[in-house]
Structure 1
């Protein structure tokens, strides 16, 4: 499969390119082109990772031809337009999280892909992980008794400003500015970080029905290498998600601070609690547990083997390989666009609830 990567920012430099240019996957997928409006960054990345072509934009990369699929690794607010362009060119698409920023965008993209006969894989593919599969089995079999409520969320902190390998150097590959994470559209901790836990939670307990929320900007300006970065996307959002039958979840994306020992997911029931890798304080067993305990949660994924273990952003590599398998072997994936659309529905509806003061009914399922 001939893959083009759209965007050579942090996620590409730390995750996509290091994994996808390793020798052990070249019989399945080849990265043959990159594009980025910072052309010297695309060119430097192409030189470092042995990619044949670098382009200043998606249009010129598509005009050059020779692609079967693209991975879109740009700021989230650009995903929809770029994915539509790729789909209309007849290419399969992997979208890094979050797939789009609105349900309307997601609906249109899914419909276009269906009409063009191309495949969409949307990160994060949380249910690919064998630990979460086992948690889903445990909850379904009644290990918690009757589930009562759940919590998931994430905090921005200064993670993006301090990604040393991509932010703090002096050359195009290490001086990527993180300003977009704090701007509309697509910035903020929900689309960027909370998306993981919410994908995991909904994968386990199923789709939600409605939400209510409070949201706003708490830190109006951030500092990066002496530059002041304005925040106009909400960095503080508290959501109550209603899954029906009085089963509720607290979902948050905040500027700083997090709950202690919070894994994904944290689910309470009448007979116990699942918190990350434990059930009632006892470690949950699952295939690949030894690997996860050695390298980390995401390193038990099926394609993350050998030297891929211990490298950054292994879960993003896994999601791309899900697309590769779907195209080449007709092996479907659980990292579906429909699941991604439902999580987007929760986020978009939460912002609308915060703006209106009203509970919002969700319009999607998966």
Structure 2
């Protein structure tokens, strides 16, 4: 294979931020974007015009019928992911899917088996264990640098950030992307959209969860979106207790407001407390710990002090200098993990099995909150 032929499913906020990465010389040498589909055809057309020989489609079926396309990256609302990934796999396409891969564990089972049966790569975001600091945190805990792990905490607060995004403020097809789905079932709410990052990092560092219990509900029943009132039918305020076995526990949250670290909108990397010390963000017992790429991260404008943003985005494997000024570097990295897997047979640490485990945590947390009963997980990774 010379260049992998890629199609974008969705031309909304996330994919519009990702497409410029594929115009950078090093990426364009390995990936050719030849298709974009979106139900708003002018949006797909505007995106396709960025690339040579790229066609716009107003339906997924039409794009999947294009035999030139080897793989797709799916950046549509989460509630659509299962059916769209399944259609792409049936069409023989390799798939990267933005978080979260599916809503239910059974859906994830189906996609994993389908990809396996057709020898196709299925790679879901978020790839939190691609981050050097998360790998280093795992190593520090595993080697006893904080003694025996006692508990951990991580999560994210929903806030109003989707409403304020620039892609949603205008009046034409490229700037009036509707954020309503974030507040609707299926697939809306902070767990599927934000806490999923925290759970991937937490479980990548500590391993699979054995049991989950939770409290959950809707705190803000109505939202104002560009002058319109939207009824919220998702839970926007959830706190989970996770049992990793051997009396090691964690708290993970997806809430309407508030974060454990002041001034940090999303506390994805979390805090880890042991019998002989603690890891908070990028510090071990109050002092910065070293990790691969830290020197480069510290040279960024933010000083490399934010675990999941700024300088620490610049040290992901495929983030060369040509990408530094672009957005969504972590999602771009996940797409390139799929590209390497398909082109070179280089398997990634990012797996659909890990994503399925996180999906089961979320699904069972909602069930635990509804029933008042702790739920046992069946999946591993």
Preserved CA contact (<8 Å) 2:156 2:268: no
* 1:30 and 2:32 correspond: yes
Q: What is the Cα deviation at residue 48 of structure 1?
A: 3.7
Query: What is aligned with 2:323?
Result: 308
Listed as ranges, the matches of 1:129-144 within 5 Å are 129-144=131-146
Query: What is aligned with 1:178?
Result: 179
Q: Among residues 322, 336, 340, which one is paired with 2:355 in the alignment? A: 340
CA distance in 1: counterparts of 2:53 and 2:141, whole angstroms: 45
Q: What is the Cα deviation at residue 263 of structure 1?
A: 5.4
SS at match of 1:25: helix
Query: What is aligned with 2:274?
Result: 269
CA distance in 2: counterparts of 1:50 and 1:158, whole angstroms: 37
CA distance in 2: counterparts of 1:63 and 1:286, whole angstroms: 45
Stretches of structure 1 that go unaligned for 5 or more consecutive residues are none
Stretches of structure 2 that go unaligned for 5 or more consecutive residues are 301-309
- Which segments of structure 1 move beyond 4 Å, counting only runs of 4 or more? none
* 1:160 and 2:162 correspond: yes
SS at match of 2:35: strand
Q: Which moved more, 1:139-148 or 1:278-287?
A: 278-287
SS at match of 2:202: helix
CA distance in 2: counterparts of 1:288 and 1:53, whole angstroms: 38
Preserved CA contact (<8 Å) 1:299 1:310: no
Preserved CA contact (<8 Å) 2:115 2:121: yes
Q: What is the Cα deviation at residue 50 of structure 1?
A: 4.8
Query: What is aligned with 1:297?
Result: 312
SS at match of 2:72: strand
SS at match of 1:32: strand
Query: What is aligned with 2:204?
Result: 203
CA distance in 1: counterparts of 2:189 and 2:226, whole angstroms: 20
CA distance in 2: counterparts of 1:301 and 1:22, whole angstroms: 16
The Cα offsets for residues 236-281 of structure 1, whole Å up to 9 and x where unpaired, read as 1110011111111111001111112545121110111111111111
Query: What is aligned with 1:126?
Result: 128
CA distance in 2: counterparts of 1:290 and 1:49, whole angstroms: 35
Preserved CA contact (<8 Å) 2:48 2:54: yes
CA distance in 2: counterparts of 1:38 and 1:177, whole angstroms: 11
Preserved CA contact (<8 Å) 1:263 1:275: no
Change (3 A) 1:224 1:49: farther
The Cα offsets for residues 120-148 of structure 1, whole Å up to 9 and x where unpaired, read as 11100011111111111111111110000
Q: What is the Cα deviation at residue 21 of structure 1?
A: 2.6
Query: What is aligned with 2:226?
Result: 225
CA distance in 1: counterparts of 2:51 and 2:14, whole angstroms: 14
Q: What is the Cα deviation at residue 298 of structure 1?
A: 2.1
Query: What is aligned with 2:292?
Result: 287
The Cα offsets for residues 138-182 of structure 1, whole Å up to 9 and x where unpaired, read as 111111100000001101111100112x11122211111100011
Change (3 A) 1:275 1:51: farther
Query: What is aligned with 1:360?
Result: 375
Listed as ranges, the matches of 1:23-102 within 5 Å are 23-50=25-52, 52-102=54-104
Q: What is the Cα deviation at residue 55 of structure 1?
A: 0.3
Query: What is aligned with 2:20?
Result: 18
Query: What is aligned with 2:112?
Result: 110
Preserved CA contact (<8 Å) 2:34 2:51: no
TM-score (normalizing by structure 2) = 0.93
Q: Which moved more, 1:227-236 or 1:202-211?
A: 227-236
CA distance in 2: counterparts of 1:201 and 1:172, whole angstroms: 38
SS at match of 1:191: helix
CA distance in 2: counterparts of 1:245 and 1:73, whole angstroms: 38
Query: What is aligned with 2:305?
Result: none
* 1:4 and 2:19 correspond: no
CA distance in 1: counterparts of 2:138 and 2:325, whole angstroms: 26
Q: What is the Cα deviation at residue 348 of structure 1?
A: 0.1
